[in-house]
Amino acid sequence: MTPQTWPCPLPGGETAQEYALAFDKERTGRLLIVPALFDEANRMRRLTVETMRRLDAAGIDSMLPDLPGTNESLQPLLGQTIDGWKTAVRSAVSHFGATHVLGVRGGCLLVPDMLPGWLYAPVRGANILRQMMRARILVSREIGREESRSELVSLAETGGITLAGYDLGADLFAGLNALEPTASSDLTAIEQETVGGSGLWMRAEPSESANQADALAATIAIGIRQ
């Protein structure tokens, strides 16, 4: 496992060096992973990396790039858009020479339809935002301030909003709210029942599961080798 950087395109034609975690030995099978979004990315990262370790042991390369504005990126989240993220993913596919792709939760919204692969526990963008707004409403209520979901949506669509500590611009909010997981005959959904146990994104703190990592890696490895 090695940290790498990759040239991520920015609006205006410039690029920024973004971080990627990679198991890269220039093997035939090369999986690009589009990570979960926002707080789910933290909760799912251990499982994602452990899955990558198992794929490496199975002779498959895998790469986990940061999207601009996420994880270690120096780009501001407030300036990101869905189109910008999708462009970044396509660029990462090309840069790393990926042969397959895996979307994790919200990452399934950004997976390109140019490669075969998998959508692990895909979720609609509106559902991600609904959970984040619910968390904000509960926190506001605890400090004596009432907010409704309709009020938050109106605020977000006009000037952006902060949800669960994440600053979302109006364009990103609107784009995410309308986004559905990528649909393609080459992309297979992996439901949680296939992996087993409860989804780690539902836990209060980041966690891990060796059994789930085993099952997820096995499903992908079998698919790549077919």
Instruction: Map out the domains of the chain with their CATH numbers.
Output: 2-123+181-225 (3.40.50.1820), 124-179 (no CATH)
- Cα dihedral 89/129/190/98 (nearest 10): 10
At 34, the amino acid letter reads V
Q: What is the pTM of this model?
A: 0.94
Farthest-apart Cα atoms in the chain, separation: 57
Band (pLDDT 50/70/90 cuts) for residue 163 is: very high
pLDDT at 11: 83
- The pLDDT of 157-161, averaged and rounded, is 93
pLDDT at 122: 97
Q: For 201, phi and psi rounded to 5 degrees?
A: -65, -15
pLDDT at 26: 95
Give 44-49 contacts, CB < 8 A, sequence gap 24+: 44/104, 44/105, 44/200, 44/201, 45/206, 46/200, 46/206, 46/207, 46/208, 47/200, 47/208, 47/209, 47/212, 47/213, 47/216, 48/104, 49/1, 49/21
Q: How far apart are CA 138 and CA 204, in angstroms?
A: 15
